Amino acid sequence: MGSSVSLKFAVLFSISLAGAASFATTTAATSLPFSKHKPKSLQSLSSYPSSPESKPKATVSDLLSLLGSPLQARSVNSQVAQELRSCFKFLVPFSPTQRLGPESSSTRRLLRLKLGRNKKDDDELIWWPPAPVMELARLAVDSGADPGAIHIALDPTIIPVPDVEGTKEDRCELTRTPYGRRFINEELNSYLKFLFEIIVQRGPSVGLNVSLNRYDFFHGHLFLAMDSGRLGILFHAKEYPAYDKEVFPYNMGYCQVGSNVPYDDGMNLRNILWLAPLPSSSTNSWLAPGVLVVLDAHPEGIIYQELIPEYVQVARTLYEDDFGEAVVDVNYLNVGVKEPNFEIFIC
């Protein structure tokens, strides 16, 4: 890619911090304007009218609090809370006051379930995941949000990332590193696959249409939330929109070559958040069930206006570092040759 493309823009689309090998390494303009031909709902809008006394500026901490316990939610300014909630598109019903614990261990045995076999079972797997996921969630909090608590659960075996849908030929590097790892406990790896697949399956119900492929939806960022240490993953879809001289005139390098992902209103929904159940830091109880929600970054909303940095608003990107301590990237890649074969690579 030419050196005229800003580093900020390159970093923006290299969400996994690995991106295309041809990304620019020099800086230029600090922002990229919308084309005048872009859909109305994707056109750049001015910020909210200046009225500092009306309400505090929203933060990612506010967003996480609203998806936590009722006590945490009550700590958020009421107007901020109302505006943030208007941008939540839940893929699984959200009910922080439902029972604070799983109904039975049988519904949590992920390896005995298939996605879509029963909607209630799939909902249950988000609210109260299999035991290994619950244990990892508690470990994250009990460790004081120490990334090492997650790293120690990884198998030390190094797995080279093979060719993914022609990436080698295109000289595209999708992942942060050329190798990955997996969790020692296979049920944790299966649960990660489940998350990718349920997002694809249920996305259309909220207007999110994504495909599991190298241009669209293949990765997320595992983090430990600020303040609480809650385990979460911020997924990013629509990673490499197709170059279009009218609606998306941006060269993103080798990984964009061949993309058919349109730059349209669907970009507003590219940030998807999973939160594990929230354990108490002082007892063995649970404060909130798990969450799976699409964060709508349409230009009229508070997420776009106050949580997304201005220089990346063109791509509607929320960053995992703003949610807490970034730990690893989780990639779900099609390594099949003749038939699709998706595997987890943790980088």
Stretch 257-276: mean pLDDT: 96
The single residue listed with the structure tokens 């609090």 is 65
CA-based nearest residue to 296, from 107, 19, 84, 73: 84
pLDDT bin (cut points 50, 70, 90) of residue 24 is: very low
Structure tokens at 213: 């492929």
275-333 confidence digits (pLDDT tens): 999 999 999 999 999 999 999 999 999 999 999 999 889 999 999 999 999 999 999 99
The single residue listed with the structure tokens 């049920």 is 187
CA-based nearest residue to 226, from 322, 134, 140: 322
* Sheet with 291-295, edge to edge strand ranges: 88-90, 291-295, 271-275, 231-236, 219-225, 324-334, 342-346
Structure tokens at 146: 């120490």
Rg (CA), the chain: 20
**Mean pLDDT, the chain, whole residue set:** 84
- Tally Cβ neighbours within 10 Å of residue 251: 17
CA-based nearest residue to 191, from 102, 131, 279: 131
Instruction: Enumerate the domain spans of the chain.
Output: 7-40+56-346
For residue 75, is pLDDT > 90? yes
